[in-house]
Structure 1
Amino acid sequence: MKIRETIVQSTFIYDLMLLRRTGGLVTWRAGSVMMVYRGKNYQGPASPKELDVEEGDGFLVPDVSSGSLSTIKDSDATTFLANSESVRRNNKQRENLTEEEIEYNALLDGLGPRFVEWWGTGIPPVDADLLPRVVPGYKTPYRLLPVGMRSRLTSAELTDLRKIAKSLPSHFALGRNRNHQGLACAILKLWEKSLIAKIAVKPGIQNTNNKLMADELSKLTGGTLLLRNKFYIVIYRGKDFVPTTVAAVLAERQELTKQVQDVEETVRCKTVVATPSGQGEATAPAGSLAEFYEAQARWGRDVSTEERERMIEEATKAKNVKLVKQIEHKLSLAGTKKLRAEKLLAKIESSMVPAGPDYDQEIITDEERVVFRRIGLRMKPYLPLGIRGVFDGVIENMHLHWKHRELVKLITKQKTLAFVEDTARLLEYESGGILVAIEKVSKEFALIYYRGKNYKRPITLRPRNLLTKAKALKRSVAMQRHEALSNHITELETTIEQMKQELGLSEDEWSMTEGHENQEFDQSEDDEDSDGFDVVEDTDWDDDEDSEVSGLNVDEHP
């Protein structure tokens, strides 16, 4: 046998199908070609005389003696024999079914006609293509979600339902893409006894689209799509599913409740007595604008234009004074944070003892410097110098590069040339190499170092006098914080001076106004801290472990 179409997902299922249909055994398989052995006890197809057909099966056994068989054509006879054989085989299978399989078979009998050409094993499903395309008066089923339950499935529930659906047999076999109202009715009937409806897609039919099938069935039934591929479509009935009988009772009860409410509303409207015009319209003047105008006209006095302008000016001035107080409060907080950052930076840098210049350093000629510069710029391997700056790991990597080559190239993203030169000198002192050149490469700087003719690899590649990688990151963050706070303090001081000049207050007047509002700002110290810099405890910075810092700008300090 040679298989031309992919009917099933695995060849094992195909072997079981051949065994169930023919009774043969697959002895050899290579790709899509297989050999089936008929067996020693093969007896061939049964003749019409040997068929035992029950009365309720819908097939007629012709009378041989009457000669009616002679009037049947060869093709009709072949079809009749095949149908009779399938009936005999189905009857034989029904005798060997368990109680659950018998119940499942009876459930499918109530849904529609079976798919005779079923390719799988087990009980054949319902042929969905034989169900009616359009059902007159069909509507989407009524749904009601229980109180306190979520309609959506969780990931665990979805996984469990898919595992259950994988072991279930197919309920329907579908081949057409649209017009599935009859199938939707059958699925709703199936959902009364099963949570899941499993639909097998018929293979070998042209232009089948499982996406169109699944979308239309989900829209008609209101279920939840669990799985869709070229073999199966699995639909869950949903947590808000209501059986047909219960849905009819609920809909009837809802309609009755609506009618009762309409009757009550009609009676209520009739009993309302209309109030004559001009009566009952008196409004209480307390707290209204009319009461204010009346009191102002009786006891108040008229405010002149000059007085009104003066009041507005005083209110604006008081508002600006309060704003200046707020900015001064922010300035004091920023100063405190700056002092804390300076202490932290001094504490970290205390463990760093940079080496001084070596006065007995090897000297290279100008010709060698030009050659080394040209070779270094052409080198592809390089060492990146990031936000941490110079630490013990950078020096170790330089010595590892010098193990295989005489030059090493470092790329730094610092913008200012002065900072780049300081970094280059520090690397030269710590590594013992010779600085060849500092070159501008696109938006970065390249530092080229020569190890020297008398280079000897040190015993300890990582110098003990430099910071570790973790402490270098803390130092970089602390320096950025200190710089940002310094810029922030400068901006606040400039803003305060400008606002004081606009207000036109002298130092004595300002000190007098300052004493009245200090208490207010002391109480709201925590609420008005909006300068964008959070207070960080020193203990968070004292750990020697690496801290995860992302989104930092390029450090411009060695």
Structure 2
Amino acid sequence: MSNASVELKTENDVVRFSIGKPGDNAFSRTEGKKKNKRVKISKRVKLNELRFYRLKAKKKMTSPNPEVRIRYKLEKAKRKEAWLIEMLRKFEVPKAPAETYDPEILTEEERHYFKRTGEKKKNYVPVGRRGVFGGVVLNMHLHWKKHETVKVICKPCKPGQVHVYAEELARLSKGIVIDIKANNVILFYRGKNYVQPKVMSPPDTLSKYKALEKYKYEQSLEHTSQFIEKLEEELEEYQKHLARYKKAKEDTPKDSVINT
């Protein structure tokens, strides 16, 4: 009895004693852990499974029925679209709390003066395919060391995207938008009481590498969405064609009976 263990259990105001060996509980725990372990699949089984899915996909791709082929492509494209959206969520940066600063109010004369002087100067900051990231804001602050104004040239830029860039850069750099030209040029003024920040690249922006990765995923998502639209149109046209064919087939016997 010296090696035995005594357990006291209370259930529904009833006290129960159980006597057992000290290793029993440990054994039962290890046994439970063993049961929870996943069964390892051999390499051959995995290869056979992959081969099965490939053959299944090949059958759909080479199917004589156009609807099967279109639906397979559509399903695959939608899976890719969902994956791309999930990947783009990883690049979402939480916006930092807005700092309190006094926005300067410029008169029309001052605005006109800064617009004229800014247009004459050659200093500019490019915004390329990466879009707005930390390096763009950093370059703006570096230009503002010697110049009051700086031009931001957006290439390539979609229609209306220049206004989004202007709003985002104004928030990040605390600069004042003087003018937005039709040829995707934004003119910024640093402000009368401009003080260069200690951290010129805001923390709530992406790095150069991550901005490029995000751009690639966005491009892929755009092309995939266009491809899905195209496939949906093809499927709709095919279904209309089938409906017309069935209708014509149903009408032909009636016509032949009338003619006889």
Q: 2:135 aligns with which of 380, 384, 393?
A: 393
**Which ranges of 4 or more aligned residues in structure 1 deviate by more than 6 Å?**
none
> CA separation in 1, counterparts of 2:185 and 2:135?
18
Cα distance change, pair 421–354 in 1 and its aligned pair in 2 (3 A): farther
Cα distance change, pair 481–358 in 1 and its aligned pair in 2 (3 A): farther
> CA separation in 1, counterparts of 2:148 and 2:111?
13
Whether 1:342 and 2:81 are equivalent positions in the alignment is no
**Cα displacement (A) at 1:453:** 0.6
Whether the aligned pair in 2 keeps the contact of 1:345 and 1:479 (CA below 8 Å) is: yes
Aligned match of 1:383: 125
> CA separation in 1, counterparts of 2:189 and 2:73?
51
> CA separation in 1, counterparts of 2:98 and 2:233?
41
Aligned match of 1:323: 66
Whether 1:413 and 2:152 are equivalent positions in the alignment is no
Whether the aligned pair in 1 keeps the contact of 2:123 and 2:143 (CA below 8 Å) is: no
Q: 1:402 aligns with which of 124, 144, 157?
A: 144
Aligned match of 1:457: 196
**Cα displacement (A) at 1:373:** 1.1
Equivalent residues in 2 for 1:234-245, closer than 5 Å:
none
SS of residue paired to 1:436:
strand
In structure 2, stretches of 5+ residues that fail to align are 1-61, 246-260
Whether the aligned pair in 1 keeps the contact of 2:77 and 2:224 (CA below 8 Å) is: yes
> CA separation in 2, counterparts of 1:415 and 1:392?
18
User: Deviation per CA, 1:348-390, whole angstroms, max 9, x where unpaired?
Assistant: 11x3526659673111111111111111111112111100001
SS of residue paired to 2:202:
coil
User: Deviation per CA, 1:9-60, whole angstroms, max 9, x where unpaired?
Assistant: xxxxxxxxxxxxxxxxxxxxxxxxxxxxxxxxxxxxxxxxxxxxxxxxxxxx
Amino acid at match of 1:492: L
Cα distance change, pair 415–328 in 1 and its aligned pair in 2 (3 A): same
Q: 1:498 aligns with which of 225, 233, 237?
A: 237
SS of residue paired to 1:478:
helix
**Cα displacement (A) at 1:415:** 4.2
Cα distance change, pair 429–371 in 1 and its aligned pair in 2 (3 A): same
Whether the aligned pair in 2 keeps the contact of 1:414 and 1:420 (CA below 8 Å) is: no
**Cα displacement (A) at 1:416:** 3.7
> CA separation in 2, counterparts of 1:459 and 1:402?
14
> CA separation in 2, counterparts of 1:391 and 1:355?
17
User: Deviation per CA, 1:283-314, whole angstroms, max 9, x where unpaired?
Assistant: xxxxxxxxxxxxxxxxxxxxxxxxxxxxxxxx
Amino acid at match of 1:482: L
Aligned match of 1:486: 225
**Cα displacement (A) at 1:467:** 0.5
User: Deviation per CA, 1:373-419, whole angstroms, max 9, x where unpaired?
Assistant: 11111111211110000111111110000001111111112444421
Aligned match of 2:173: 431
Cα distance change, pair 477–355 in 1 and its aligned pair in 2 (3 A): farther
The alignment of Structure 1 onto Structure 2 pairs a total of residues equal to: 184
Whether 1:468 and 2:207 are equivalent positions in the alignment is yes
Amino acid at match of 2:198: I
Q: 1:448 aligns with which of 168, 187, 197?
A: 187
Cα distance change, pair 370–396 in 1 and its aligned pair in 2 (3 A): same
Query: Which structure's relative contact order is higher, taking Cα pairs within 8 Å and 6+ residues apart?
Result: 2
> CA separation in 2, counterparts of 1:358 and 1:437?
24
Whether the aligned pair in 2 keeps the contact of 1:354 and 1:466 (CA below 8 Å) is: no
User: Deviation per CA, 1:234-259, whole angstroms, max 9, x where unpaired?
Assistant: xxxxxxxxxxxxxxxxxxxxxxxxxx
SS of residue paired to 2:184:
strand
Whether the aligned pair in 2 keeps the contact of 1:355 and 1:430 (CA below 8 Å) is: no
Aligned match of 1:211: none
SS of residue paired to 1:364:
coil
Cα distance change, pair 377–417 in 1 and its aligned pair in 2 (3 A): farther
Q: 2:112 aligns with which of 370, 395, 412?
A: 370
Aligned match of 1:332: 75
Cα distance change, pair 380–466 in 1 and its aligned pair in 2 (3 A): same
SS of residue paired to 1:348:
coil
**Aligned-pair Cα RMSD in Å:** 2.2
User: If each structure's helix is expressed as a fraction of its own residues, which one has the higher value?
Assistant: 2
**Cα displacement (A) at 1:320:** 9.5
TM-score, normalised with respect to structure 1: 0.32
Q: Percent sequence identity over matched residues?
A: 38
Amino acid at match of 2:167: R
**Cα displacement (A) at 1:424:** 0.4
